[in-house]
Amino acid sequence: MTNYSLKHLEELEAESIFVMREVFAQFDNPAILFSGGKDSIVVTHLARKAFFPAKIPFPLMHVDTGHNFPETIKFRDDLIKELGAQLIVGSVQDSIDDGRVEEETGFNASRNMLQTTTLLDTLEREKIDCALGGARRDEEKARAKERFLSHRDEFGQWDPKHQRPELWHLFNGRHSMGEHFRAFPISNWTEMDVWQYILKENIAIPSLYFAHERKVIRRNDTWIPYSEHINLKPEEEVVTKQIRFRTLGDITITGGDESDADTLEKIVQEVAAARTTERGNRSDDKRSESAMEDRKKEGYF
Amino acid sequence: MSYLDMELLRFTTAGSVDDGKSTLIGRLLYDSKSIFQDQIENIQAVSDKRGSEHLELGLLTDGLKDEREQGITIDVAYRYFATPKRKFIIADTPGHIQYTRNMVTGASTADVALILIDARNGVIEQTCRHSFIASLLRIPHLVVCVNKMDLVDYSEEQYNKVVEQYKEFAAKLNVHDIRFIPISALHGDNVVNNSEPMNWYKGGTLLHNLETIHIGSDENLIDCRFPVQTVIRPFSTEYHDYRGYAGTVAGGVFKPGDEVIVLPSGLTSKIKSIDTLNGPLNEAFPPMSVTMTLEDDIDVGRGDMISRVNNQPEVKQDIEVMLCWLNKKGPKPRAKYYVRHTTNEVRAIIKEVIYKVDINTLHRLEEDKEIGMNDISRVMLRTTKPLFCDPYSKNKITGSIILVDETTNETVAAGMIL
């Protein structure tokens, strides 16, 4: 007799596909927020599954800080070509040039905070009423309270205390003009689930996730990649290390770990044995105790 | 690769404000080694700043700034951990009466509910309320954790007293699997590890129970229900005439060749194929997300239900439900609401409030019919178009609805069809 039960990755996949199809059915103009990181790559892969044999019915939207890893941009462009999808780029440099935001200065300067303005401007310009993101609830304590379908007011803000109750899998995407939603199809996935799924489905990911040699500097207890966007402190030294990245953000804020995990199998083993959270190396989350909550309230994803 | 073969168990936690719910979850995560070093450092720093004597494990689940400041949980927080046996999703829900709506939310997707009782106080009003909600939402398994056993000297007698008290009350509930465990979340007794001071307790630890509760038979595999989410039309040369009906199986097992009926049209056809990106399937069962094609070119769209000719859902416009009101403002007289049911949306009015339930005593209040936030009542809805539904007790997916306010678009109520 057949065993009519799903394994955890199959159940998570089915749930995510359901969410994507609801987004497609309930909104006029959704888009996938694509960062080039593993989570948005998995979301894109799931979108492919959700609408097969049709093409992904959403454009991919990238908020380009200008501080990218070159590998990420190449990966993005190759994937777009393969999917035959439309790419929308929101440029932080344009926001700076237009005087919408001001560049941070100093050694810890990053464009992370500026992204929110560019993101919201781009959503408005493209009239996107639902932005699908790869955020997961296990990543961070404010994200642990997110809904699958998260309502944003006309300023793009998240109000965690007045979220719509989300029961069973009955999603309420009704909204007034000017408001939009964020949708998080992989809310219930953990970092481990994502890696296991990438391995199981053999999904292509940027080479940055695999151990490789790179010029780095030691800063805030992590290896920050050396690039033209980094202001070196006098005591800092550029060294070459074999590292890999557990998450990908801007090149200025993403720290790598020393690692020899150069295959997906080794990465899964490394993640299983990890003793720190994956965002532990992200200086954007370290600015204060509630850094993520504050950014989310302002419209960050 | 054994880690790819795990089962997923979703559970929710309920207890009143000081029952130590967050501490229990923190303890489960901590003792099952699911907490990372930087998270421990982070909560250690906050604990020190507050001047606590020990690591405040509750901080692991309190996410929002207000929650940390007030030491309470406001919103449902989802937590994740895995053991070699299972992967777990925890919906940690607040205990305050004003957050009952969050408890209902957490309970709606749970396989198991943990009910926390303070061993010193025994069964109190909130215990009854939480247990009632768990039974109303048909959570198949309840685990009653009698917590703070350290504060009653790990007394077996006190534990038995609380268990008896609970059993007496639970006779009124509709739950078939209730287990009891004496624990101390603060010290970790019987959470992940066995308890030395309570060696009189012979049952398994909480984690052992969570790892072994049989959940495989909780899905409905008999009554075939497939609510259509969207129609897949590739418009490509390769799939020129392809029309696929995308959805998640809500009940039963579907196979190619099966004779099916589409509601509301009543047209019948046969399943031609069940498609996925990874290739066609021989069968689809809950909760799989698939795309079906039919032999005949009939009109099918979002909100339609694919079912079997000899086993169809009820088709009706007068819907009797147990309704939990979730919004600050109660229903307006003769107001219309959008009803969301599976992938369908219709409009409805609340035709009649039959009675309200006193959720602490389970008494029916036939005189007081004024519905407010957190109230649970039995009501009759009249919809503009028929719903294709089953009783909630038979199928949670085809038996549940939400009401959406027409002006604010807020989700104001959740209902279980009787």
Mean pLDDT of the residues in chain B: 89
Distance CA A94, CA A64 (A): 10
- Residue A190 corresponds to which tokens in the numbers above? 């953990």
pLDDT (tens digit, 9 = 90+) per residue, B245-281? 999 999 999 999 999 999 999 999 999 999 999 999 9
Q: What ipTM was estimated for this complex?
A: 0.91
H/E stretch holding B272 reads strand B267-275
Nearest of B214, B153, B211 to residue B28 by alpha carbon? B211
Task: Determine contact, residues B402/B340, Cβ cutoff 8 Å.
Answer: yes
**Residue contact A160–B64, C-beta within 8 A:** yes
**Residue contact A166–B396, C-beta within 8 A:** no
Mean pLDDT of A56-69: 90
pLDDT (tens digit, 9 = 90+) per residue, B203-224? 999 999 999 998 876 788 999 9
Lowest mean pLDDT across A142-146, B79-83, B186-190: A142-146
- Which residues of B, range 387-416, sit inside 8 Å of A by Cβ? 396-397, 400-402, 404, 409-411, 414
**Residue contact A25–B343, C-beta within 8 A:** yes
Nearest of B126, B72, B104, B14 to residue B374 by alpha carbon? B104
- A2, A3, A5, A222: which to substitute to probe chain B, counting the most B Cβ within 10 Å? A5
**Residue contact A165–B102, C-beta within 8 A:** yes
Q: Is residue A283 scored above 70 in pLDDT?
A: no
* B314 φ, ψ (degrees, to nearest 5): -70, 145
B233 touches chain A (CB under 8 A): yes
Mean pLDDT of B329-347: 93
Handedness of CA B219, B224, B225, B231 (dihedral sign): positive
Distance CA A30, CA A51 (A): 14
What order do you get walking across the sheet with A180-183 strand by strand? A87-91, A60-64, A30-33, A130-132, A180-183, A149-152
Angle between helices A191-201 and A8-26 (to 10 degrees): 90
**Residue contact B238–A53, C-beta within 8 A:** yes
* A47 φ, ψ (degrees, to nearest 5): -65, -40
SS3 at position B332: coil
Report the half-sphere exposure of B317 (CA within 13 A, side-chain side). 10
Q: What band does B386 get if pLDDT is binned at 50, 70 and 90?
A: very high
pLDDT (tens digit, 9 = 90+) per residue, A136-179? 998 877 788 888 998 887 777 787 777 888 999 999 999 888 78
Beta strands B112-118; B141-147: pairing state: parallel
Lowest mean pLDDT across A1-15, A179-193, B131-145: A1-15
Q: Rounded to the nearest 5 degrees, what angle is found at the Cα of A198, between the Cα atoms of A194 and A204?
A: 130
Distance CA A160, CA B397 (A): 27
Which chain B residues are closer than 8 Å to A17 by Cβ? 248, 289
Nearest of B214, B217, B220, B223 to residue B286 by alpha carbon? B220
- Longest alpha-carbon distance in chain B: 75
pLDDT (tens digit, 9 = 90+) per residue, A104-118? 777 666 777 778 888
SS3 at position A294: helix
Q: Which CATH superfamily is domain A8-193+289-298 in?
A: HUPs (3.40.50.620)
pLDDT (tens digit, 9 = 90+) per residue, B17-75? 677 787 888 888 888 777 777 777 777 787 788 777 777 777 766 655 665 555 555 67
Domains of chain A, residue spans: 8-193+289-298, 203-285
Nearest of A203, A199, A190 to residue B1 by alpha carbon? A199
Q: Is residue B2 scored above 60 in pLDDT?
A: no
Mean pLDDT of the residues in chain A: 85
CATH numbers and ranges of domains, chain B: 2-217 (3.40.50.300), 225-308 (2.40.30.10), 314-417 (2.40.30.10)
**Residue contact A168–B397, C-beta within 8 A:** yes
Task: Determine contact, residues B224/B250, Cβ cutoff 8 Å.
Answer: no
What is the chain B residue with the closest CA to A291? Answer: B65
B40 touches chain A (CB under 8 A): no
Q: What band does A60 get if pLDDT is binned at 50, 70 and 90?
A: very high
